[in-house]
Structure 1
Amino acid sequence: MTRQAARTLDVTQFLQEVEPQRFVTLRLPFLRKGFNTGLTAYHLQLLLLCSLVTFFDGQDFSALAYALPYIRDDMALTNEMTGYVSAAAFLGQMIGSLFGSYLGDIFGRRPVIIACTIGSAVFTTIVGFAGSAEQLIALRFISGLAIGGLLAPVWALSIESMPKSMRATSVTVIMMGFSFGGASAAPIANWVAPVLGWQGIFWVCGAMTGVFALILLFTLPESARWMVAKNLPKERIAPALTRFNPAFRAEDYDAFTLPDERKTTDSANPLLKFRELFIGALLIVTPLIWAAYFFSSFAIYLKSSYGVIFMENLGMARTDAAWLGSASGIMGAIGGVILLMMTEKRGPGWIALAPLIALPFTLLIGLDMVEGGPWFVPFLLISATLVGAGHAAVISITSIYYPSAVRATGGGWASFMAKFAAVAAPIFGAQFLAGRQGALDGYIFTVGCLLGIAVCVLALSWFARGLRERANAPAHQPAE
Structure 2
Amino acid sequence: MSIAPSRVTLPDFIDSRPVSRYQYIVIGLCGLVMFIDGFDTQSISYMAPHIAEEWGLSKQVLGPIFSAALAGLMVGYLALSPLSERFGHRRMIIASTVLFALGTLAAAWSQNVTELMALRFITGMGLGAAAPSAIALTGEYSPKRLRATFVLAIYCGFSLGFVAAGLVSGWLIPTFGWRSVLVVGAVAPLLLLPALLRFLPNSLTLMINKGAEPKRVRSILRRIDPGLAADPDFTYEAEKQPDEQRTALRNLFTRDRVVGTLLLWLVFVINLGEFYALQSWLPSIMTSLDYDMGTVVTATTLTTVGGIAAAFVTGPCMDRLGAYLTLGTVYIVGFAFVALTGLALSAPLWVLLTANFFAGVCISGGQKSLIALSAVFYPTSMRSTGVGWALGVGCIGGIVGPIVVGAALGMGWSASAVFYAMSIPMLVAGVTVLLLGRWVRSDKHPDRAVVESQSLAHK
TM-score by length of 1: 0.79
Tell me the distance in 2 between the aligned counterparts of 1:448 and 1:40.
48
Q: Does 1:264 align with 2:242?
A: yes
2:360 corresponds to 1:388: no
Given candidates 397, 411, 421, the residue that maps to 1:421 is 397
The partner residue of 2:79 within 91, 99, 105 is 99
> Equivalent pairs: percent with the same residue?
24
Asked whether the 8 Å contact 2:341–2:355 carries over to 1, the reply is: yes
> CA 1:456 to 1:421, structure 2 compared with 1: closer, same or farther past 3 Å?
same
Instruction: Give 1:292's aligned residue.
Output: 267
> Where does 1:338-377 land on structure 2 (aligned, <5 Å)?
339-340=314-315, 343=318, 348-349=323-324, 350-366=326-342, 368=343, 371-373=346-348, 375-377=351-353
Count residues with an aligned counterpart: 445
The corresponding residue for 2:10 is 11
Contact 2:270 2:429 in 1 (8 A): yes
Counterpart CA distance in 1 for 2:375 and 2:45 is: 28
How far apart, CA to CA, are the structure 1 residues paired with 2:203 and 2:322?
Answer: 25
Of residues 123-132 and 451-460 in structure 1, the stretch that sits farther from structure 2 once superposed is 451-460
> 1:244-281, CA deviations, whole angstroms, 9 ceiling, x for partnerless residues?
444446767645243xx8x5327xxx756744766898
Counterparts in 2 of 1:50-449, with a 5 A limit? 50-227=30-207, 230=209, 232-233=211-212, 235=214, 237-248=217-228, 254=235, 256-258=237-239, 264-265=242-243, 271=246, 274-275=249-250, 286-313=261-288, 316-337=291-312, 339-340=314-315, 343=318, 348-349=323-324, 350-366=326-342, 368=343, 371-373=346-348, 375-396=351-372, 410-434=386-410, 437-449=413-425
For residues 268-319 of structure 1, what are the alpha-carbon distances to aligned partners after superposition, in whole Å with 9 as ceiling and x for unaligned?
xx75674476689876665455333222211110111101123345564444
Is the contact between residue 15 and residue 145 of structure 2 (CA under 8 Å) also seen in structure 1? no
**What is the deviation of 1:243?**
4.5
* Native 8 Å contact 1:161 1:225 kept in 2: no
| AA partner of residue 17 (structure 1) | S
Contact 1:10/1:256, CA 8 A, preserved across alignment: yes
C-alpha contact (below 8 Å) 2:35/2:159 kept by paired residues: yes
Q: Which amino acid aligns with 1:70?
A: H
Which amino acid in structure 2 is aligned with residue 466 of structure 1?
Answer: V
Does the Cα contact within 8 Å between 1:54 and 1:177 map onto a contact in 2?
yes
The superposition leaves residues 303-353 of structure 1 with CA deviations (integer Å, 9 ceiling, x where unpaired) of 111011233455644441222212332342243255336646876434445
Cα distance, 1:121–1:397 mapped onto 2, change above 3 Å:
farther
Contact 1:429 1:442 in 2 (8 A): yes
The one-letter code matched in structure 1 to 2:70 is F
CA contact (8 A) 2:20 2:225 kept: no
Provide the secondary structure at the position in 2 that maps to 1:150: helix
For structure 1, the residue ranges without an aligned partner over 5 or more in a row are 23-38, 475-480
Counterpart amino acid of residue 380 in structure 1: N
SS of residue matched to 1:375:
helix
Q: Report the counterpart of residue 26 of structure 2 in structure 1.
A: 46
CA positional deviation for 1:206? 0.8
Q: Confirm or deny: 8 A CA contact 2:276 2:402 kept in the other structure.
A: yes
Change (3 A) 1:285 1:403: same
Q: In structure 2, the residue corresponding to 1:322 is in which secondary structure?
A: helix
Q: Aligned pair in 2 of structure 1 residues 473, 48: CA closer, same or farther (>3 Å)?
A: closer
Q: Distance in 1 between matches of 2:429 and 2:10?
A: 35
After TM superposition, the structure 1 stretch with the greater mean CA deviation from structure 2, 348-357 or 79-88, is: 348-357
Helix, strand or coil for the counterpart of 1:264?
coil
Q: Aligned equivalents of 2:29 and 2:223: distance in 1?
A: 15
Give the deviation of 1:207 after TM superposition.
0.9
Tell me the distance in 1 between the aligned counterparts of 2:321 and 2:14: 23
Deviations 1:25-61 (A, max 9, x none): xxxxxxxxxxxxxx55444333322211111111112
Deviations 1:331-382 (A, max 9, x none): 422432553366468764344454343332223334x378414533312222
Map Cα deviations across residues 90-144 of structure 1 (whole Å, 9 max, x no partner).
1111112223321122222111111111111111011110111111111111111
State the Cα deviation string for residues 50-88 of structure 1 (Å, max 9, x = none): 211111111112221110010011111112211121111
SS at match of 1:130: coil
CA distance in 2, matches of 1:342, 1:443: 28
> CA offset at residue 194 of structure 1?
2.5
Q: Does 1:466 align with 2:447?
A: no
Contact persistence 2:319–2:456 (CA under 8 A): no
What's the TM-score, normalizing by structure 2? 0.83
CA contact (8 A) 2:36 2:158 kept: yes
Please give the alpha-carbon distance, in whole angstroms, between the structure 1 residues aligned to 2:219 and 2:258.
37
- CA-based RMSD: 3.7
| Contact 1:91–1:141, Cα closer than 8 Å, also in 2 | yes
Q: Deviations over 1:380-423 (max 9, x none)?
A: 2221243212222323555685769x876555423321111111
